[in-house]
């Protein structure tokens, strides 16, 4: 994923009330970017970088993502 794509995902996560892979996918699709990147792989990369944290959601298949302090500094 490019730096530009990382920042795009960070901004989408920051802008959602409750960011899940599904809500991210829907937000990206509304902007005409559907299918350009794999949402799950992209978010996993941001988690590995320490820019996003993943917490369990109501549904095990829909964890919640939010920016870490390190992620906020990347915006």
**In CATH, what number is assigned to the domain containing residue 32?**
1.10.10.10
User: Can you give the pLDDT at residue 29?
Assistant: 87
Among 53, 58, 12, 6, CA closest to 31: 12
pLDDT of res. 34: 66
Handedness of CA 26, 29, 33, 34 (dihedral sign): positive
Q: Structurally, how many domains does the chain consist of?
A: 1
Could you tell me the pTM of the whole model? 0.86
Domain that holds residue 28: 3-74
Between 73 and 35, name the one with better pLDDT: 73
Q: What is the reported pLDDT for 73? A: 94
Residue with tokens 């792989």: 41
pLDDT digits (tens, 9 = 90+) for 16-68: 999 999 999 898 888 877 667 788 899 999 999 999 999 998 888 899 999 99
């Amino acid at each position: 994923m490019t730096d530009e794509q990382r920042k795009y995902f960070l901004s989408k996560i920051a802008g959602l009330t409750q960011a899940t892979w599904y809500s991210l996918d829907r937000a990206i699709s509304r902007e005409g970017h559907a299918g350009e990147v794999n949402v799950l792989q992209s978010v996993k990369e941001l988690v590995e970088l320490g820019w996003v944290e993943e917490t369990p959601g109501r549904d095990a298949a829909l964890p919640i993502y939010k920016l870490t302090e390190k992620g906020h500094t990347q915006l």
